[in-house]
């Protein structure tokens, strides 16, 4: 192995400041003397010349070391390894016509180096970090997260961080132009459990008491409206202790917005304007407004989801009418109990074989959780209806009627699920997405035309069988529609909220509502939710007090910044657009968090831990305890 160059041999300021970045030089710089600094991405030895691709976050520049120009620099360059940090001084010259790289912004030029300074050396990285995609191999994500400082050097992540930065700037500029104040709200607040689990922070000065990290600044932004701030926004960290997935993190960032004297239309129009600015600045795309609207009920009935992907068809159809009094016990029982039979017409799939349909049935049962799949096919050979239920159990005339109702043509397939609503709609919605992926109807991330959609008119609350009470569909500060106030006494599940969600390509990217601004209405909501006066005062007394002192009508929205960046970047996971994300299990492998704390810290906080029998803290934890000494 060649001897590694030593970083301490040359001073880091040998060449002074860099004159250009590694993505900046063009043919117009021909003949200029430049200083570049960065990482050695690749090294190639060609006939006595050494070529180094020098990389920083701005791009790549090819640097040539010729022994006739500087023998010492050429010799040192021959020993460089990937990820060594170097500074070079040299002259820009055009590449020969045959050597131009059209895929590289700097591909028309190269720098002939006359001096090289090694600023630091690198051990062999655990994976290849090259900007050249063909050099990189598939790397386990846990390994990349453990060495995140190397992973961050990848051009894709560098570009995503830059995109995120630009989104911050556009957002702040937009709200400043619309007379909003950026106000910070506390990170240590009171636990108001209503939704996901809180992250709790023990108080040393107040034994037995805990702060909570905010799931959102909801109550604080309402207080700001009562305080006359009028228009508030904040790019804010929020925390939820919940199970994770590709588009969910325990700590996340949202664009939080609140306005006094706002109507639903005011909030929607303002949000659409922000989306227009973001897509114009970050994607060079003009968005048409207003965005389409769907009621919650219509979204569920047509797409089986309150965040529908409308970029493809395969809409759900209520087939219940076609299966009245069939004599087929499964269908008759569901219809008689008020359930639904939901169909999805799949054009051109009527010739699918039995093996393919068996695999689909397995998905329906094992992944979607439905009781079973009943299908009807019109094969392209015109041979008549084919179904997976015997004619004796379900006469084919019902299949014919269903196919007719669905508008099926020769060569089409009709899938049906049956069950109680709304569960069967949600299952059919999952089946719709599965079929879209199977048929390649959903564009890959970052491809296709973006489709925004407002989902409105949500139920105010729903009955939770496990808790034995009504719970808020959004949060307990959401205002009901004025005409539904009387329903809160006897039929709260029938009340409609002044709430709205913004959906992009089947992803919820924001949600908000008009808030309750009158104390008597807020108490009525608490009563419907089973929160008695004493509990309401204990948990939300400060808000109820504020509503008694001239609270203006107000409303707002919170937009998921991480998810917005993910969709703008065409990334597959939030972890690709957050500098230091957590894994699926909520850990950060690089710094090894969460970690044990020593017993002395727990004593200071007046905390004793009760661990499962199979979990034992490392010895180092107990050793630092005053009790252990």
- pLDDT score for 620: 74
DSSP 573: S
Q: How does DSSP assign 59-102, residue by residue?
A: EEEEEEE-TTT-HHHHHHHTT--TT-EEEEEEEEEEPPGGG--T
| DSSP state at residue 52 | E
377 φ, ψ to 5°?
-125, 145
The candidate with the shortest Cα–Cα distance to 251, out of 280, 297, 283, 216, is 216
Q: How many CB atoms lie within 10 A of CB 597?
A: 15
Question: Which whole number is the average pLDDT over 152-175?
Answer: 97
Per DSSP bridges, beta strands 109-120 and 374-377 are unpaired
Per-residue pLDDT of 372-420, as tens digits, reads: 999 999 999 888 889 998 888 898 899 999 999 999 999 999 999 999 9
Q: What is the DSSP string of 97-137?
A: GGG--TTSTTTTEEEEEEEEEEEE--PPPSS---S-GGG--
- The residue ranges of DSSP E strands in 507-563, in sequence order, are 507-514, 554-560
pLDDT over 90 at 343, yes or no: yes
Distance, CA of 88 to CA of 20 (rounded, Å): 11
What is the rounded distance in angstroms from the CA atom of residue 401 to the CA atom of residue 385? 11
How much is the average pLDDT of 218-244? 94
Task: Report pLDDT for 246.
Answer: 64
pLDDT digits (tens, 9 = 90+) for 15-70: 889 999 999 999 999 999 999 999 999 999 987 999 999 999 999 999 999 999 99
- 251 or 610: whose pLDDT is higher? 251
So what's the pLDDT on residue 194? 61
In what side-by-side order are the strands of the sheet with 316-318?
Answer: 316-318, 340-346, 413-419, 374-377, 386-387
pTM: 0.92
Residue 83's nearest CA partner among 31, 33, 135 is: 135
β-strand partners of 505: none
DSSP string for residues in 421-458? TTHHHHHHHHHHHHHHHHTT-SPPTT-S---EEEEE--
Q: Is 243 left (phi over 0), alpha (psi -120 to 50) or beta?
A: beta
Cβ atoms within 10 Å, residue 22: 25
pLDDT at 538: 87
- 293-295/452-456 β-pairing: parallel
């Amino acid at each position: 192995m060649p001897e590694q160059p030593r970083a301490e041999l040359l001073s880091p300021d040998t060449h002074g400041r860099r004159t250009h970045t590694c993505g900046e030089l063009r043919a117009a710089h021909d003949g200029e003397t430049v200083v570049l600094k960065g990482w050695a991405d690749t090294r190639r030895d060609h006939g006595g010349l050494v070529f180094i691709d020098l990389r920083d976050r701005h791009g790549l520049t090819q640097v040539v070391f010729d022994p006739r120009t500087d023998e010492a620099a050429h010799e040192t360059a021959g020993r460089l390894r990937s990820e060594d940090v170097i500074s070079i001084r040299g002259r820009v010259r055009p590449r020969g016509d045959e050597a131009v790289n059209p895929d590289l912004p700097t591909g028309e030029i190269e720098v002939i180096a006359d001096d090289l300074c090694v600023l630091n050396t690198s051990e062999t990285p655990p994976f290849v970090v090259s900007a050249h995609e063909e050099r990189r191999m598939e790397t386990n994500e846990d390994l990349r997260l453990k060495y995140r400082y190397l992973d961050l050097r990848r051009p894709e992540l560098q570009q995503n961080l830059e995109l995120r930065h630009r989104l911050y700037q556009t957002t702040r500029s937009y709200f400043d132009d619309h007379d909003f104040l950026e106000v910070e709200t506390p990170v240590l607040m009171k636990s108001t459990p209503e939704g996901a689990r809180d992250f709790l922070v023990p108080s040393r000065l107040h034994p037995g008491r805990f702060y909570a990290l905010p799931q959102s600044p909801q109550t604080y932004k309402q207080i700001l409206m009562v305080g006359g701030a009028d228009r508030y926004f904040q790019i804010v960290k929020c925390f939820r202790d919940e199970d994770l997935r590709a588009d969910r993190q325990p700590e996340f960032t949202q664009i939080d917005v609140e306005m006094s004297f706002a109507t639903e239309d005011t909030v929607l129009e303002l949000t659409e304007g922000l989306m227009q600015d973001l897509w114009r600045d970050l994607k060079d795309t003009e968005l048409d407004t207003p965005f389409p609207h769907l009621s919650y009920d219509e979204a569920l009935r047509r797409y089986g989801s309150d965040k529908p992907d409308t970029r493809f068809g395969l809409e759900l159809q209520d087939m219940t009418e076609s299966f009245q009094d069939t004599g087929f016990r499964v269908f008759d029982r569901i219809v008689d109990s008020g359930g639904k039979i939901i169909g999805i017409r799949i054009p051109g799939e009527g010739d699918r074989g039995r093996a393919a349909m068996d695999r689909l049935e397995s998905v329906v049962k094992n992944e979607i959780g439905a009781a079973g799949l009943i299908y009807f096919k019109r094969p392209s050979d015109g041979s008549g209806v084919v179904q997976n239920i015997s004619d004796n159990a379900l006469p084919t005339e019902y299949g014919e009627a269903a196919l007719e109702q669905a508008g099926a043509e020769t060569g089409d397939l009709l899938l049906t699920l049956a069950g109680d609503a709304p569960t069967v709609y949600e299952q059919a919605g999952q089946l719709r997405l599965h079929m879209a992926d199977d048929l390649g109807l959903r564009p890959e991330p970052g491809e296709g035309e973006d489709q925004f959609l407002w989902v409105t008119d949500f139920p105010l609350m729903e009955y939770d069988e496990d808790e034995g009470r009504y719970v808020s569909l959004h949060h307990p500060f959401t205002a009901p529609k004025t005409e539904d106030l009387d329903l809160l006494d006897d039929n709260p599940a029938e009340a409609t909220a002044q709430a709205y969600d913004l959906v992009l390509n089947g992803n919820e990217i924001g949600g908000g509502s008009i808030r309750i601004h009158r104390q008597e209405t807020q108490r009525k909501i608490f009563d419907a939710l089973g929160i008695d006066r004493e509990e309401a005062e204990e948990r939300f007394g400060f808000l109820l007090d504020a509503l008694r002192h001239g609270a203006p009508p107000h409303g707002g929205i919170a937009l998921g910044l991480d998810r917005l960046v993910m969709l703008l970047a065409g990334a597959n996971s939030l972890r690709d657009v957050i500098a230091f994300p957590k894994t699926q299990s909520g850990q950060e492998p690089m710094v090894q968090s969460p970690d044990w704390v020593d017993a002395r810290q727990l004593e200071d906080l007046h905390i004793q831990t009760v661990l499962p029998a199979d979990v034992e803290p490392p010895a180092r934890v107990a050793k630092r305890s005053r009790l252990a000494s």
